[in-house]
Amino acid sequence: MRNIFLVTLFVFFISAQLAMGSERDINIYKNIRCLVCQGQSLNDSNSDFAVDLKKVIKKKIINKESDQEIYTYLTVRYGDWILLDPPLKKNTLLLWALPLLFALIGGAFIYMKALISHPKK
């Protein structure tokens, strides 16, 4: 009885580990752009390029490489464009700063309008 319990526990543990592994794969695939498809992530694509790249990433995961190491491997070869969530760098500064800038300008504009229509007494 005890042995059956231990075997069941072992099977559950292994399946949990496998499930965690595949979830990590999918999270990485979702953050990588399929460079030969139009606006698809690696996870959504079954093109030759995507299938090959998934195999390479899978191998790296099995070799216990971290997510960051995998992203660096890819950006060295394909540039930041391969990441769907581009890092904050000198050449992506505009991309990150523009929404914030527009929010600030818009906020200031609304505040000024409100101030004009409801002046403080």
> Quick check: 82 and 33 in contact, CB under 8 A?
yes
- Shortest distance in whole angstroms from residue 105 CB to other proteins: 9
Tell me the C-alpha distance between 1 and 71, whole Å: 47
Distances (CA, A) of 116 to 31, 91, 106: 46, 39, 15
> In the bound complex, what is the minimum distance in angstroms from residue 81's beta carbon to other proteins?
5
Q: Binding of other proteins at residue 61 (CB under 8 A)?
A: no
84 touches other proteins by CB under 8 A: no
47 within 8 A of 38, measured Cβ to Cβ: no
Task: Choose one: 3-11, 12-20, 23-31, 50-58; the region binding other proteins (CB under 8 A).
Answer: 50-58
Q: What is the DSSP string of 5-27?
A: HHHHHHHHHHHHHHHHHHHHHHH
- 110 belongs to the binding site for other proteins (CB under 8 A): no
Binder of other proteins out of 9, 36, 103, 110 (CB under 8 A):
36
Which of 28, 32, 42, 53 is in the footprint of other proteins by CB under 8 A?
53
Contact between 2 and other proteins (CB under 8 A)?
no
Apex 52 CA angle, 47 and 58, nearest 5: 125
- Residues near other proteins, by CB under 8 A: 35-36, 48-49, 51-53, 55-56, 59, 76-79, 81, 94
